Amino acid sequence: MNKERNKINSIELDEKTRQFTSQCREAGLKITPQRVAIYRELIQTDEHPSAEMLYEKVKNIFPSISLDTVNRTLLTLNEIGAAFTVVGSGDAKRFDGGLHEHQHFRCLKCKRIVDFHHKPFDDIKLPANIRKKFKILRKTVYLEGICDLCI
Amino acid sequence: MNKERNKINSIELDEKTRQFTSQCREAGLKITPQRVAIYRELIQTDEHPSAEMLYEKVKNIFPSISLDTVNRTLLTLNEIGAAFTVVGSGDAKRFDGGLHEHQHFRCLKCKRIVDFHHKPFDDIKLPANIRKKFKILRKTVYLEGICDLCI
DNA sequence: CTTACTGCAAACCATTTGCACGATC
DNA sequence: GATCGTGCAAATGGTTTGCAGTAAG
């Protein structure tokens, strides 16, 4: 759980940046300094920033950047697969009466949430250090993708 | 994936309602018809409704109910454990450069997201019917609870 | 020179808060 | 009768949209 565990060094950072710019070119996207800066800030942190958090960081480099640009850029990165959204769909909360043990699949297009139940997932074993460190209230296997109706 | 699979019959519904009211009493909560109606609507559906969706349903029973009441009630149900918010809904988006394979723990209090990596979780096998039906873009093991700093 | 990106402002959606009235215990 | 819950209205937080100006290819 070392905070620095996933920090990348400057060589990796440059390498990743190069990969990113060619990924943009392939996707027909322009290489703007803002876009690059947002990407670089994103991959330099472990804290799974929100758009707002990244905005604060990138402002140190581009004081005039707007939060909207960060939001739009992150959307774009998501589309080309250069970034992922971790949790928090940005959509409304969805509730569950919790009657039956089950897992969820969420369609990224129509936002539908589909239950499925795969018994082995009910009792996946957590590593001891996690169980010791945190009070785990819920654990689940969570899938995202495109559902049969949206393909 | 039968849509009716988890529908409960009226006997189970009444039983659950009884359990719910005593749960409220134990928690020192008043038994209001709105509260009960919201709970009953929630456990009668499979579709993981948002507050808005439940609001529309409960309005058929209490035409004068407000969306705020539904929101507040769901919060309350969540607190006493009579309902859960489906993982990944609500809250602002959080991003990840996706450099390393890892899993997430999210603190319900401070919203901190902590990475952990448990190798066995990297290659959990999805059931075939899921893999066939949906285009799975991401799968993860996701934990929620209270983190060491918040206990 | 064309197209895409940025920055700003306004709009939008879901959720939260403050307050007065009403219902439950 | 005291306290908690409800309904309404206003406020907030996050995200999205429209548009004009600017920069990348």
Q: Mind listing the pLDDT tens digit for each residue in B115-137? A: 899 999 998 999 999 999 999 98
CB < 8 Å to A144, chain B: 88, 136-139
What φ, ψ does residue A79 adopt, rounded to 5°?
Answer: -65, -40
Q: What is the CA radius of gyration of chain B?
A: 19
Residue of B nearest to A126 (CA): B118
Contacts of B133 in chain A (CB under 8 A): 147-148
Instruction: Give the closest residue to B90 by CA, choosing from B58, B45, B48.
Output: B48
Note the pLDDT of residue A40. Answer: 97
CB contact under 8 A, A135 and B116: no
**In the numeric block, which tokens belong to residue B15?**
């039983």
Question: Whats the size of chain A, residue-wise?
Answer: 151
Q: Spell A109-128 as b/e; 16+ CB within 10 A means b.
A: eeeebbbbeeeebeeeebee
d(CA B119, CA A60): 37
Tens digit of pLDDT at every position of chain B (151 positions): 444 556 789 999 999 999 999 999 999 999 999 999 999 999 999 889 999 999 999 999 999 999 999 999 999 999 999 999 988 778 889 999 988 889 999 888 888 889 899 999 998 999 999 999 999 988 999 998 889 988 7
Residue B90: closest C-alpha in chain A: A93
Considering only CB atoms, A87 lies closest to which of B52, B106, B124, namely B106
Structure-token pair, residue A89: 């769909």
Which tens digit of pLDDT belongs to each residue from A86-116? 877 788 999 999 888 899 998 888 888 899 9
Phi-psi group of B81: left, alpha or beta (phi > 0 → left; psi -120 to 50 → alpha; rest → beta): left
What is the DSSP track for A7-55? Answer: ---HHHHHHHHHHHHHHHHHTT----HHHHHHHHHHHT-SS---HHHHH
Q: For tokens 């393909």, what's the residue?
A: A151
pLDDT at B12: 94
In single-letter form, the type of residue at position A44 comes to Q
Q: Are B54 and A95 in contact (CB under 8 A)?
A: yes
In the complex, which nucleotide's C1' lies nearest to the CA atom of residue B35?
Answer: D5
Size of interface A-B (CB pairs under 8 A): 244
Asked whether the CA dihedral B84, B88, B93, B96 is positive or negative, the reply is positive
